[in-house]
């Protein structure tokens, strides 16, 4: 039974790589053409929005693994393995962030304007330096956690991919102490979660809230990293569901495990909505013009109000009503649809926060096919990095159905 499965696995990997390559080509070609001879402003703005979304997804997915390890959750084994695969996007994310510097004149509308005392914080050298250091710290801690986690997996299951075999040979030359590696893994998991909250808050302040330098919210940092957890768990559920439906190399998890991560996804959807409401109601009752103008423009003035209602329905109202049903959370195909809709809605939410800064009083919603194709290019990058990771460490797919104890 296992032989036919192994023969079809390379074809499936090739299909995923081909799909990712096509999406990358379409997105990159659209971006380059628009920057060179088209609408460079729109291209760079779409680049920023997609960078924020897909990087946050990778950050939030790995957080699932660190969180499950820290609390010693025994039910999450196969899902933890997949969550760690999202760390393959970290190097790509760092390069994409550095690429933002090339489009700085198209992205930061406050350049050359009076910032009313915020010049010490909002200046490009300092902004890119602190954000780059933050991302390096976050990614370094995430990869250090992954390194120690892989030792426990590869030493017990046996590596099958080339990178896994190289790592095991390296470890065999100087065998690690299991107890010491276990402590380090726990320390790195805790440090990653701390850095996650701090760095995602910083990116939210600098690359989203800071685009409108006259508006501020002390809760925006927490709102940013909770949103990353929401989309990260959604991305993990989609990957697990697709592998389960395709029977990729025998990958399978129990209904109870789908139900558990579905409950976590549902819970963080509520937390995300609560953080939005907490910001909204305080600003509304405070009624300070510098604060209310930002919210009123995005929720009550056309055409942004229609987009705001779309985000509310797609990211909160519909998932809330659908996921109240226990059975839905155990159906992989249904969860792919729900989580895919939420991630799409979060892409629109990023657009809603940033686009009013770039498009002053538009008559209609300024979304275009350019935004969509560039986003698909980023999706292709994420798909490709996940596929490469699973090809290098195929043993993470060779799991048994584990019922929760």
The DSSP line for 105-127 is: HHH-TTTTS--TT-TTTS-HHHH
- Residue 34 burial class via C-beta count within 10 angstroms: exposed 0-12, middle 13-18, buried 19 and up: buried
pLDDT tens track for 134-147: 999 999 999 999 99
Q: Which residues of the chain have pLDDT under 50?
A: 1-11, 400-405
Are 203 and 54 a contacting pair, CB within 8 Å? no
Q: Is residue 36 part of a domain?
A: yes
Q: Is residue 402 part of a domain?
A: no
Among 396, 393, 372, CA closest to 23: 372
Task: Give residue 404's pLDDT.
Answer: 39
Q: Is residue 265 part of a domain?
A: yes
The total number of structural domains that make up the chain = 1
Q: Is residue 46 part of a domain?
A: yes
Task: Give residue 15's pLDDT.
Answer: 84
Among 304, 282, 300, CA closest to 291: 282
Task: Give residue 13's pLDDT.
Answer: 52
Task: Give residue 2's pLDDT.
Answer: 37
Task: Give residue 241's pLDDT.
Answer: 93
Task: Give residue 3's pLDDT.
Answer: 39
Mean pLDDT of the chain, nearest integer? 88
* Planar angle of CA 57, 59, 62, nearest 5 degrees: 105
Interatomic CA distance for residues 241 and 129, integer angstroms: 38
Q: Is residue 405 part of a domain?
A: no
Q: Is residue 378 part of a domain?
A: yes
For the stretch 22-31, what's the b/e string if a residue is b when 16 or more beta carbons lie within 10 angstroms of its beta carbon?
A: ebbebbeebb
Q: Is residue 292 part of a domain?
A: yes
Q: Is residue 28 part of a domain?
A: yes
Task: Give residue 280's pLDDT.
Answer: 85
Among 281, 274, 356, CA closest to 315: 274
Task: Give residue 9's pLDDT.
Answer: 46
pLDDT tens track for 310-360: 999 999 999 999 999 989 999 999 999 999 999 999 999 999 999 999 998
The boundaries of the domain holding residue 72 are 2-397
């Amino acid at each position: 039974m296992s032989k036919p499965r192994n023969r079809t696995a390379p074809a499936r990997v090739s299909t995923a790589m081909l799909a990712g390559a096509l999406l990358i080509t379409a997105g990159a070609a659209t971006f380059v053409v628009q920057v060179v001879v088209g609408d460079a402003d729109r291209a760079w703005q779409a680049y920023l929005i997609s960078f924020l979304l897909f990087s946050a997804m990778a950050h939030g997915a790995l957080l699932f693994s660190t969180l499950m390890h820290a609390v010693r959750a025994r039910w999450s084994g196969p899902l933890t393995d997949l969550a760690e695969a999202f760390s393959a996007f970290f190097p790509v994310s760092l390069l994409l962030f550095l690429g933002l510097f090339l489009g700085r004149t198209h992205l930061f509308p406050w350049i050359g304007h009076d910032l009313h005392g915020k010049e010490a914080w909002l200046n490009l050298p300092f902004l890119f330096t602190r954000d780059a250091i933050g991302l390096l710290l976050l990614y370094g801690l995430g990869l250090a956690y992954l390194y120690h986690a892989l030792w426990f997996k590869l030493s017990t299951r046996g590596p099958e991919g080339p990178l896994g075999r190289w790592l095991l040979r390296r470890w065999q030359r100087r065998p690690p102490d299991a107890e010491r590696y276990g402590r380090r893994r726990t320390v790195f998991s805790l440090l990653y979660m701390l850095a996650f909250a701090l760095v995602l808050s910083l990116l939210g302040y600098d690359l989203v809230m800071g685009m409108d330098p006259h508006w501020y919210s002390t809760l925006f940092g927490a709102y940013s990293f909770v949103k990353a957890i929401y989309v990260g768990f959604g991305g993990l559920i989609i990957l697990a569901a697709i592998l389960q439906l395709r029977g990729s190399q025998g990958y399978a998890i129990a209904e109870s495990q789908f139900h558990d991560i579905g409950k976590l996804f549902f819970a963080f959807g509520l937390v995300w909505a609560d953080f939005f409401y907490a910001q909204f109601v305080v600003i509304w009752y405070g009624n300070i013009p510098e604060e209310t103008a930002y919210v009123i423009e995005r929720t009550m003035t056309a055409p942004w109000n229609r987009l705001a209602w779309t985000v509310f329905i797609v990211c909160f109202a519909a998932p809330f009503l659908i996921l109240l049903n226990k059975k839905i959370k155990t159906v992989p195909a249904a969860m792919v649809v729900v989580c895919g809709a939420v991630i799409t809605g979060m892409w629109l939410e990023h657009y809603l926060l940033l686009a009013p800064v770039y498009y002053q009083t538009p008559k209609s919603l300024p979304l275009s096919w350019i935004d969509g194709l560039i986003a698909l290019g980023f999706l292709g990058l994420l798909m490709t990095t996940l596929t490469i990771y699973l090809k290098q460490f195929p043993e993470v797919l060779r799991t048994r159905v584990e019922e929760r104890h």
